[in-house]
A and B are shown apart, each in its own frame.
Chain A
Amino acid sequence: MMIKAYRFIKARDYLMRAVFMLCAAFSILALACICVFLFVSGIPFIGRIGFSNFFGTTWHVDSQAYGILSMIVTSLYLTALATFIGVTTGLLTAICLFRFCPKRLIPSIRQMVNLLAGIPSVIYGLFGLIIIVPFLRDYVSPNSIGFGLLAASLVVSIMILPTIVSVSLDALNAVPRSYYEGSLALGATSEQSVFKVVVPAARSGILAAVVLAIGRAIGETMAVIMVIGNSPVMPHGLFQSVRTMTANIALGAKELGGDAATALVSTGVVLFIFTLLLNISFNLLRGGEKREKKRTQKTDT
């Protein structure tokens, strides 16, 4: 009797272990499938149409020109500009929340910034299309075009704010309080202590926030399509219709077939490589941060 029950429990254990393994394997399988799909259909296509065609500047489906260089450049410009605006605002917000904000306002401000992360990207796109684009067109743009890099960067910079604020605030909070107090004891003002001591001490965490934000900015699609104009040309200014890699894929995915559809997959490969590099650098930064923490803990004791 006892042995029977024991066997049953053991069998159940094995079964559940198998179920858990299967669940874990599922996400790995999903990743593997996506990689295989992208590379198997994307890479040979680049080889077939030629490296110089694929990384050329002309995208014109009707004449079999699938150059995505202008879109790569646009994606990079957009990411750089959005990250610059977002990181400046976000980092200063985090510093404000860390030391200078009245204590009773902190929870509500944090909550509101986090709420930004929950808004669907299409709503950001709508906001950009209805508010930002007409505003830029009527009052800022020199050529009466509101669509373009600036509109998209503004929208995306708002979208990446919550990531930057929460990750860099965590990094600031993780700096031992003794740093700040020691700096005060040496005669520095509160502002000097925060900007010259605490922020540099939290730099790897802040860098991680920046990398995460870049990852989000380069992959943003829906909001960008609605405000960037989507013309596949090289960007020469802030108020000009241009197209990112993500927009190219989303615009064509439903409409195009044959070679053009494969060209979209190849665009996906390039995008995937960019995000992969970002992820790797994020992990390296995280690793660096951990090592640094260990070192400071050792010197503390």
Chain B
Amino acid sequence: MKISRIVTVMVLGLSLMLGLVACGGGGFDTSRNITVLAREDGSGTKSAFMDIIGLKDKPDPAGVIIQPSTAAINAEVRNNTTAIAYESLGFVADDVKKLSVDGVEPTVDNINSGSYQIARPLAVVYHESSLSDEVVKAFFDFMQSSEAQAIINEEGFVPVLSSASAYTVNGALSGTIDVSGSTSVQPLMIELAAAFEHLQPNVSVNVSGGGSGTGYNNAEEGVSDFGMVSEVFNSERAPSCTFTNIARDGIAVIVHKDNPLTSITMEQLRGIFDGEAGAAAITTWSSLITN
């Protein structure tokens, strides 16, 4: 008796679910809520983005989905038609849509000319004294060489040095270099490391992620030779260290491919990402998209 009742309930539940699956689908529904994606506290991308759009130290809006890495943000925007997120421009793939901000497209040229405003430096943080190690110094020089500038350009980032000289190979060099930190800088650093290892076969460069916070901490404590950070250097977070900007990176505002929106204003971004926006808060797509 009991068992058969349970089985009946289960079968009913399952068919209900399948029925719901069959009913889904359709075009973009502007009445749906905006799913706001953000990075965790301490992330370089987050602090740079919030800072630039004028929401420094403001809390996230209620209902924000926090994902701990650039890759996780990208994956969610690719799958979720209602999502909006910010992400390092060099990391944005073709399977999501970049929005123009105040009518300016997020391209390398526009970042270079300063017309696209949401951009931040990518930097390495290090102890001045660690450059006395010739292997570390060689990699530091390489990051500012013309070879490195070419790679930075290729990867979709903006070089900061207008004139750079070629890197001179030192055949006697051997050792290991440890670099860790921002997941926004990581893909670029991996490319730079590979090119450097190609020129200096006896040197190996270990690149690991962890976020800008990790970059500051590891550089400060000497765990890594270089810490990667993706924001304007904050000396409070690594007091005994110094920094060098290696590139500039735009932060793109991204949405799902099926989203009809193509452009957004700073004002609207503040309405979406400010937890204290009050009446100015934007929570549904219909506030952004007018048919």
Asked if B42 CB lies within 8 Å of chain A CBs, one says yes
Contacts of A225 in B (CB 8 A): 68
Instruction: Select the residue from B35, B75, B82, B212 with max chain A CB neighbours within 10 A.
Output: B35
Instruction: Select the residue from B23, B63, B214 with max chain A CB neighbours within 10 A.
Output: B63
The reply to whether A257 and B66 form a contact with Cβ atoms under 8 Å apart is no
Output the nearest chain A residue to B23 by Cβ-Cβ distance.
A139
Contacts of A250 in B (CB 8 A): 68
The reply to whether A139 and B33 form a contact with Cβ atoms under 8 Å apart is no
CB-CB contacts below 8 Å: B229-264 with A: 237
The segment from A15-23, A140-148, A154-162, A266-274 found at the interface with B is: A140-148
CB-CB contacts below 8 Å: B96-143 with A: none
Asked if B62 CB lies within 8 Å of chain A CBs, one says yes
Task: Name A's interface SS.
Answer: helix
Known: A62-B57, A139-B21, A145-B33. A257 touches B237 (CB 8 A): yes
The reply to whether B6 and A257 form a contact with Cβ atoms under 8 Å apart is no
Contacts of A254 in B (CB 8 A): 42, 210-211, 213-214
Asked if B279 CB lies within 8 Å of chain A CBs, one says no
Contacts of A139 in B (CB 8 A): 17, 20-21, 23-24
A283 → B minimal CB distance (Å):
33
The reply to whether A231 and B63 form a contact with Cβ atoms under 8 Å apart is yes
Known: A251-B40, A252-B40, A255-B42. A143 touches B33 (CB 8 A): yes
Cα distance A226–B63 in the bound complex, in angstroms: 15
Contacts of A241 in B (CB 8 A): 63-66
Known: A229-B66, A256-B41. A134 touches B57 (CB 8 A): no
Contacts of B217 in A (CB 8 A): 257
Asked if B60 CB lies within 8 Å of chain A CBs, one says yes
The reply to whether B213 and A256 form a contact with Cβ atoms under 8 Å apart is yes
Cα distance A156–B159 in the bound complex, in angstroms: 46
CB-CB contacts below 8 Å: A45-81 with B: 60-63
Contacts of A144 in B (CB 8 A): 32-33, 35, 82
B15 → A minimal CB distance (Å):
13
Asked if A259 CB lies within 8 Å of chain B CBs, one says no
Asked if B265 CB lies within 8 Å of chain A CBs, one says no
Asked if A100 CB lies within 8 Å of chain B CBs, one says yes
Chain B 81-103 interface 0/1 with A at a Cβ cutoff of 8 Å (1 = within):
01000000000000000000000
B284 → A minimal CB distance (Å):
10
6 closest A-B pairs by beta carbon, nearest first, are A255-B42, A255-B213, A230-B66, A62-B57, A139-B20, A229-B65
